[in-house]
């Protein structure tokens, strides 16, 4: 049974940054759905490269069959991990239903870490991210924020109704955000 923490929040809210620190210090393996999709996009012989790129540039969400298989394959490479940080997933209803179909019985969903940050700050962070991404531009970001508001935030509300959401204000400096995130994990794991 894979132990899973979903990490959600607007683009630029700090999911990747915080997940890297959790992975370093708390023994969870960081799986960024976006990173897995970008790697698949670049993989020689991938049949999904063009499809993935069109969704990334358009700020829309890749069909769950592709993303969920990439996530499960990655988890199977770390069978002894304490748990997995599933970063940027589930991002819409298709992700959620596809995950349930493919992963039920295989995972324990511990909680959802929700990084909350004002959109204007998030957009500026992405524009200054400097990772050469094809979607860190004003046009793509407009669409990504719309996707977040219309499709992803309802997923956070869904988990909220199940009392599974742990919200952390990520507008503050990284160290302050991380301090609160550690408290969330300590409470969840009674460390
Ligand atoms: N708390 C923070 N304060 C200031 N900048 C941040 C903070 N967290 C992340 N960043 C920066 O903002 C950008 C986006 O962070 P990232 O972790 O990639 O966010 P996400 O994965 O949610 O898109 C990166 O350049 C990162 O260094
Ligand atoms: N579950 C997911 C996660 C990401 N994607 C695609 C669409 C997203 O805009 C891009 C980028 O996702 P990523 O999590 O790397 O973006 P941020 O780190 O939030 O800026 O990847 C997806 O289609 N499905
Ligand atoms: Mg990220």
- Which residues surround ligand 1 with Cβ inside 6 Å? 9, 11-17, 125, 129, 170, 173-174, 177
CATH number of the domain within which 169 lies: 3.40.50.300
Beta-carbon contacts of 177 under 8 Å, excluding residues fewer than 6 positions away, are 14, 18, 115, 168, 169, 170
pTM: 0.98
Domain count, the chain: 1
Give a yes or no: residue 35 inside a domain: yes
Q: What is the ipTM of this complex?
A: 0.99
Nearest Cα residue to 7 out of 122, 116, 130, 137: 116
What is the per-residue pLDDT for 190? 83
Q: Which domain holds residue 151?
A: 2-186
Q: How far is the CA of 125 from the centre of ligand 1 (A)?
A: 6
User: Each residue of 57-108: pLDDT tens digit?
Assistant: 999 999 999 999 999 999 999 988 989 999 999 999 999 999 999 999 999 9
pLDDT of residue 191: 57
Give pLDDT < 70 ranges for the chain. Answer: 191
Whether residue 32 is contained in a domain is answered as: yes
Read off the tokens for 86.
Answer: 């599933």
In a domain, 191, yes or no: no
36 within some domain = yes
């Amino acid at each position: 049974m894979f132990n899973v923490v979903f990490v959600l929040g607007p683009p630029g809210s700090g999911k990747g940054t915080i997940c890297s620190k959790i992975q370093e210090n708390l023994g969870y393996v960081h799986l960024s759905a976006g990173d897995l999709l970008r790697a698949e996009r670049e993989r020689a012989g991938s049949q999904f490269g063009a499809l993935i790129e069109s969704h990334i540039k358009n700020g829309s969400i890749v069909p769950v069959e592709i993303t969920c298989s990439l996530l499960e394959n990655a988890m199977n490479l770390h069978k002894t991990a304490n748990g997995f940080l599933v970063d940027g997933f589930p991002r819409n209803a298709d992700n959620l239903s596809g995950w349930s179909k493919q992963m039920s019985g295989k995972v324990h969903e511990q909680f959802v870490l929700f990084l909350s940050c004002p959109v204007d700050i998030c957009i500026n962070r992405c524009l200054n991210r400097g990772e050469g991404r094809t979607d860190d531009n004003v046009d793509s970001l407009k669409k990504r924020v719309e996707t977040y508001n219309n499709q992803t935030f309802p997923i956070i509300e869904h988990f909220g109704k199940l009392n599974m959401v742990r919200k952390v204000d990520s507008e503050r400096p990284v160290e302050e955000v991380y301090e609160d995130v550690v408290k969330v994990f300590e409470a969840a794991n009674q460390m």
